[in-house]
Amino acid sequence: MTTATQDHPPSMTATTNCLIRYIEIWVPGNDGSVVLESARVVDADCLRALTPQITTFQLGEGLIGSAVKQRSPVIFQDLPSTDLQRVRDQSGVPVTAMLAFPVYLEDRLINVIAVGLVDGDGAAEIWTRDDRDELSVSGSIYRGLDSFEYMSQHVRFPKGAGLPGYCWKFGVPKMLSDPGTNPNFIRSFDRDRAALTSVVGLPISRSYGYPESILLLMSSQSIPLANYAAVLKVDAALPEDDAPFPPITVTSIENSSQEDDDIDWQQTAVDQMAACGSCCLIDEEALCGGFKGVVAIPFTKKGRVDRAVLLAF
């Protein structure tokens, strides 16, 4: 790993009401390494930029390198953890879990996104194919969902069943609002303290045309994962070799955490994503949507960008 000068961290105080309080975006480097592109703290008034000490991870090294080597999301939670401690030290945010996941355009790695989560009700799950050719939980974090956690360890999803099976079969992200009443979310959390309000399913990597794993991100009534989440259906031409994305047009908002959501600043976020040709973290000056920043994540199908996921703060 490579280090750089560290900014002095502020005091550890909660300043905004969402579980994600820290974000890193990494890009591929040389010889299988990944290099830090951006690190931000989610504050109430801005997404504050940092210059962390560690700026490079080798393949398989730490949380970030493990996500690249495994081609799958990775979750680290609870201390002692070198990755948790480095984020707590450099950001001043009392993160209790770190989640990293790789983003691919077809088979080409473009980014690794890492987020730091603070305490609060919610969950994240990694679903991978097992020896029965079904999906089972291979990694997870649960808060306020004890019964749901126990149930999830004994559930299997065949292709097409439930939200994980849907993302696996069709290879696209999908978001469910009000999962307690949604027939596509077949598990119950009625006995738990946490009341889930939305679930986002993200397909990660591909093998023989199908995702290798599915990441589920769950927000609760008491604290959302982000202040805004959405899955956008987009239209784009096939990209050319070694060229930026072609123009991408948002055709619809398939689902979002905001009622009566119109396409407005979302197109601006997608334009920024197309311009940089990868995931991007956009500051409020370019948004005009009332948010301090947004992470835009592209997802491809049949060689072209087909969906985009937005997480705004």
Could you count the other beta carbons within 10 Å of the beta carbon of residue 3?
Answer: 10
Q: Is residue 5 part of a domain?
A: no
Per the structure block, which two tokens stand in for 116?
A: 């730091």
Q: Is residue 12 part of a domain?
A: no
Structural domain including 290 reads 226-313
Q: Is the pLDDT of residue 7 over 50?
A: no
Check the CA dihedral 49-53-55-58 and report its sign: negative
* 267 lies in the same domain as 312: yes
Q: Over the stretch 267-287, which tens digit does the pLDDT of each residue have? A: 999 999 999 889 999 887 766
pTM, 2 dp: 0.91
Q: How confident is the model at residue 10 (pLDDT cuts 50, 70, 90)?
A: very low
- Mean pLDDT, residues 254-263 taken together: 88
Q: Over the stretch 155-200, which tens digit does the pLDDT of each residue have? A: 999 999 999 999 999 999 999 988 878 777 878 787 888 888 999 9
* 210 lies in the same domain as 125: yes
Q: Over the stretch 67-104, which tens digit does the pLDDT of each residue have? A: 999 999 999 997 678 889 999 999 999 999 999 999 99
Which H or E run includes 255?
strand 248-256
Q: Give the end of a domain, one of 225, 251, 267.
A: 225
Q: Over the stretch 287-311, which tens digit does the pLDDT of each residue have? A: 666 788 899 999 998 888 999 999 9
Residues above pLDDT 90, as percent of the chain = 59
* 141 lies in the same domain as 154: yes
The answer to whether residues 300 and 306 touch, using CB atoms and an 8 Å cutoff, is yes
Q: Which residues contact 141 (CB under 8 A, 6 or more apart)?
A: 75, 77, 97, 99, 117, 123, 124
Q: Is residue 266 part of a domain?
A: yes
* 112 lies in the same domain as 141: no
Determine the 3-state secondary structure of 90 from DSSP. helix
Q: What is the 3-state secondary structure (H, E, C) of 55-81?
A: EEECCCCHHHHHHHHHCCCEEEECCCC
Q: Is residue 152 part of a domain?
A: yes
Q: Is residue 73 part of a domain?
A: yes
Q: Is the pLDDT of residue 25 over 90?
A: yes
Q: Over the stretch 192-220, which tens digit does the pLDDT of each residue have? A: 888 889 999 999 988 777 899 999 999 99
* 157 lies in the same domain as 176: yes
Task: Read off the CATH number of the domain in which 263 is found.
Answer: 3.30.450
User: DSSP secondary-structure letter at 278?
Assistant: S
Cα separation, 163 vs 152, whole angstroms: 13
Q: Give the end of a domain, one of 75, 91, 119.
A: 119
Q: Is residue 194 part of a domain?
A: yes
β-strand partners of 105 = 108
Q: Is residue 289 part of a domain?
A: yes
The answer to whether residues 47 and 23 touch, using CB atoms and an 8 Å cutoff, is yes
Structural domain count, the chain: 3
Q: Is residue 175 part of a domain?
A: yes
Q: How confident is the model at residue 120 (pLDDT cuts 50, 70, 90)?
A: very high
* 243 lies in the same domain as 299: yes
* 235 lies in the same domain as 210: no
- The overall average pLDDT reported for the chain is 88
Task: Read off the CATH number of the domain in which 148 is found.
Answer: 3.30.450.40
What value, to the nearest 5°, has the Cα angle with vertex 110 and ends 159 and 280?
Answer: 105
